Copies of this chain bind each other. A is one copy, B any other.
Amino acid sequence: MIVPDHCGAVLTIDLDAVAANYRLLADKSGKAICAAVVKADAYGLGMAKLVPALAAAGCGNFFVATIDEGIELRNVLADVSIYVLNGPAPDSGPVFAECRLTPVLNSPWNIEAWAAYCNGRGNPLPAVIHIDTGMSRLGLSLRELEDLTAKPERLASVKLAAVMSHLACADEPGHEMNRRQLTSFRRALTRLPKTATSMANSSGIFLGADYHFDMTRPGAALYGISPIKDGPNPMAQVVRLQAEILQIRDVDTPLTVGYGATCQVGRGGRIATVAAGYADGYLRSLSNCGCGFIGNYQAPVIGRVSMDLITLDVSKIPHDAARPGVMVDLIGPSQPVDEVARRAGTIGYEILTGLGARYRRIYSGGKA
Residues of chain A whose beta carbon lies under 8 Å from any beta carbon of chain B: 1-2, 4-8, 39-41, 43-44, 65-69, 71, 85-87, 89-92, 95, 98-99, 106-107, 109-110, 132, 134-138, 141-143, 168-169, 172, 175, 177, 246-253, 255-261, 265, 271, 273, 275, 278-279, 281, 283-285, 303, 306-309, 311, 324-325, 345-347, 349-350, 353-354, 356-358
A138 touches B247 (CB 8 A): yes
A40 touches B358 (CB 8 A): yes
Bound Cα distance from A85 to B279, whole angstroms:
15
Bound Cα distance from A358 to B283, whole angstroms:
19
A256 touches B4 (CB 8 A): no
Q: Classify the secondary structure of A's interface with B.
A: loop
A67 touches B6 (CB 8 A): yes
B99 touches A2 (CB 8 A): yes
Given known A109-B247, A247-B109, contact A261–B137 (CB-CB < 8 A): no
Task: Offer 9 A-B interface pairs, CB within 8 angstroms, sorted by A.
Answer: A40-B358, A41-B357, A65-B307, A66-B308, A86-B275, A136-B265, A177-B256, A278-B353, A278-B354
A284 to chain B, nearest CB (A): 5
Bound Cα distance from A67 to B275, whole angstroms:
12
Identify A278's interface contact among B248, B255, B279, B350, CB under 8 A. B350
Given known A135-B258, A252-B141, A357-B357, contact A2–B169 (CB-CB < 8 A): no
Identify A4's interface contact among B5, B67, B247, B346, CB under 8 A. B67
Q: Which residues in B have their C-beta under 8 angstroms from that of A346? A: 284-285
Identify A260's interface contact among B109, B141, B168, B248, CB under 8 A. B168
A168 touches B86 (CB 8 A): no
B257 touches A137 (CB 8 A): yes
Q: Which residues in B have their C-beta under 8 angstroms from that of A350? A: 278, 283-284
A92 touches B6 (CB 8 A): yes
Given known A109-B247, A278-B353, contact A8–B261 (CB-CB < 8 A): no
B87 touches A136 (CB 8 A): no
Q: Which residues in B have their C-beta under 8 angstroms from that of A357? A: 41, 357
Given known A278-B353, A285-B345, contact A91–B136 (CB-CB < 8 A): no
Bound Cα distance from A343 to B74, whole angstroms:
38
A246 touches B278 (CB 8 A): no
Q: A8-B86, A284-B346 are in contact. List 5 more A-B contacts (CB 8 A).
A: A90-B325, A135-B258, A141-B250, A168-B259, A357-B357
Identify A168's interface contact among B65, B67, B256, B358, CB under 8 A. B256
Identify A134's interface contact among B261, B271, B284, CB under 8 A. B261
Q: Which residues in B have their C-beta under 8 angstroms from that of A278? A: 349-350, 353-354
Q: Which residues in B have their C-beta under 8 angstroms from that of A4? A: 67-68, 71, 89, 91-92, 95
A358 to chain B, nearest CB (A): 7
B284 touches A285 (CB 8 A): no
Identify A284's interface contact among B259, B284, B347, CB under 8 A. B347
Name the CB-closest residue of B to A324. B109
A3 to chain B, nearest CB (A): 8
Name the CB-closest residue of B to A1. B71
